[in-house]
């Protein structure tokens, strides 16, 4: 039995969902992989709990009842440590970044320098610093895993990294943002952009500030990451971006009249990444519904390969993070 120590940075919805999977599947991971995990620190925006082994079940209860870890003073010592301090001071094997911290690359790099592997669902570090992060991880023989950054747990990253080794990838086209799909689908049923957006916010599909989804930044981050994996490192600045903000109900209805549908599509070719609303046939593999994502990978030998699955959701995102935690454990299976 191998025991790996984990530092959680971020304990919001995704972080807690990961914690729940680790708890629920403790026995499964022991039996299948011969590994056990212990959590040595959890950091939320209020504080860091740090101990030899934190009871994840209690941590979930505290966070869900009191909203922040800083309240948890009767069982554990609570520290005022920022992520950069945590990766320096807390001895852990794997640091799990489930934040939205735009500048997380700074402490990712520090964690790697300290000999810790990284598992992350946080896109900006990769979309802006892929080359640097990978170089640091490879140089030290550490893992830097990020399945959940694109298509939640749908394993497009692992597929691109581990399969198709003899093929030359020519193009990836995909729909990687569920909020825009939701809005465009509502507009097809006659709602205005504003009505559809409001509905998305009511249902918790769009965030209070939905601009990252609407203007294509979220899909652009994902497209950047896919280019880095499939071709070579680029940054988000290299992506041509057009959001769905300018789409009118009339355009959507006209497309519908032609038997088509509009989706925010990312096209990724070597040195050429475009995210834009595109009119596609209703029976196109990219004509996804709800929070589904789809990617068509075109290669020289295999032709077209379609991967379609969850692109959002808590369990679905936890699936990617947990798979990465196990892969980062580097056990022989």
Binding of a copy of itself by 170 (CB under 8 A): no
Binding of a copy of itself by 152 (CB under 8 A): yes
For 286-317, letters b (16+ CB in 10 Å) and e give bbbeebbbbbbbebeeeeebebbbbbbebebb
Is the CB of residue 311 less than 8 Å from the CB of residue 153?
Answer: no
Nearest CA to 149 among 83, 73, 225? 225
Report the site for a copy of itself in 11-30 (rule: CB under 8 A): 21, 25, 28-29
Is the CB of residue 110 less than 8 Å from the CB of residue 133?
Answer: no
Known catalytic membership, residue 2: no
Q: Which is nearer to a copy of itself, 75 or 162 (CB)?
A: 162
Indicate which single residue of 168, 202, 204, 250 sits in contact with a copy of itself (rule: CB under 8 A): 168
Nearest CA to 114 among 142, 135, 144? 142
Q: Which is nearer to a copy of itself, 101 or 173 (CB)?
A: 173
Task: Give the C-alpha separation, 115 to 227, whole Å.
Answer: 27
Binding of a copy of itself by 316 (CB under 8 A): yes
Binding of a copy of itself by 159 (CB under 8 A): yes
Indicate which single residue of 12, 233, 245, 309 sits in contact with a copy of itself (rule: CB under 8 A): 309
Long-range pairs of 136-143 with CB within 8 A, sequence gap ≥ 24:
136/109, 136/112, 137/112, 140/112, 140/113, 140/115, 142/112, 142/115, 142/116, 142/117, 142/118, 143/94, 143/117, 143/118, 143/119, 143/324, 143/327, 143/328, 143/330
Indicate which single residue of 33, 195, 242, 256 sits in contact with a copy of itself (rule: CB under 8 A): 33
Site string for a copy of itself, 131-150 (x = CB under 8 A): ----------------x---
User: Closest approach of Cβ 333 to a copy of itself, in Å?
Assistant: 8
Question: Residues 63, 123, 145, 222: which is the catalytic one?
Answer: 222
CA geometry: angle 35, 37, 41, nearest 5 deg: 160
Indicate which single residue of 64, 65, 165, 257 sits in contact with a copy of itself (rule: CB under 8 A): 165
Q: Which is nearer to a copy of itself, 245 or 313 (CB)?
A: 313
User: Closest approach of Cβ 158 to a copy of itself, in Å?
Assistant: 4
Helix 193-202 × helix 178-188 angle, to 10°: 130
User: Closest approach of Cβ 171 to a copy of itself, in Å?
Assistant: 14
Binding of a copy of itself by 303 (CB under 8 A): yes
Task: Give the C-alpha separation, 330 to 306, whole Å.
Answer: 29
Binding of a copy of itself by 319 (CB under 8 A): yes
Indicate which single residue of 41, 143, 154, 261 sits in contact with a copy of itself (rule: CB under 8 A): 154
Could you list the active site residues?
222
Q: Which residues bind a copy of itself (CB under 8 A)?
A: 21, 25, 28-29, 33, 147, 152-155, 158-159, 162-168, 283, 285, 299, 301-310, 313, 315-316, 318-319, 322-323, 325-327
């Amino acid at each position: 039995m191998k025991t790996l120590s984990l530092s959680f940075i971020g304990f919001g919805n995704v972080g807690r969902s990961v914690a729940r999977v680790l708890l629920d599947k403790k026995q499964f991971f022991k039996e299948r992989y011969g590994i056990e995990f212990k959590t040595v620190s959890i950091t939320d925006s209020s504080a860091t709990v740090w101990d030899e082994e934190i009871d994840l079940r209690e941590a979930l209860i505290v966070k869900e009842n009191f909203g922040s870890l800083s309240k948890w003073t009767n069982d554990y010592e609570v520290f005022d440590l920022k992520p950069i301090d945590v990766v320096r001071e807390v001895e852990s094997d794997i640091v799990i970044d489930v934040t939205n911290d735009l500048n997380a690359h700074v402490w990712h790099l520090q964690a790697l320098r300290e000999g810790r592997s990284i598992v992350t669902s946080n896109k900006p570090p990769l979309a802006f610093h892929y080359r640097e992060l990978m170089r640091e991880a490879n140089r030290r023989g550490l893992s830097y895993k990020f399945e959940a950054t694109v298509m939640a747990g749908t394993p497009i990253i692992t597929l691109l990294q581990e399969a198709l080794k003899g093929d030359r990838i020519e193009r990836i086209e995909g729909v990687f943002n569920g909020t825009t799909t939701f809005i465009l689908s509502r507009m097809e049923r006659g709602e205005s952009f504003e009505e559809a957006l409001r509905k998305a916010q009511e249902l918790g599909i769009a965030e209070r500030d939905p601009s990252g989804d609407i203007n294509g930044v979220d899909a652009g981050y994902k497209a950047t990451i896919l280019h880095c994996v499939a071709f070579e490192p680029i940054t988000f600045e290299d992506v041509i971006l057009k959001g769905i903000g300018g789409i009118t109900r009339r355009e959507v209805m006209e497309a519908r009249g032609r038997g088509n549908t509009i989706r925010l599509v990312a096209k990724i070719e070597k040195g050429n990444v475009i995210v834009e609303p595109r009119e596609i046939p209703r029976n196109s593999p990219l004509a996804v519904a709800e929070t589904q994502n789809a990617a068509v990978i075109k290669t020289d030998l295999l032709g077209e390969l379609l991967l379609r699955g969850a692109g959002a959701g808590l369990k679905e995102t936890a699936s990617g993070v947990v798979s990465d935690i196990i892969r980062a454990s580097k056990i022989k299976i």
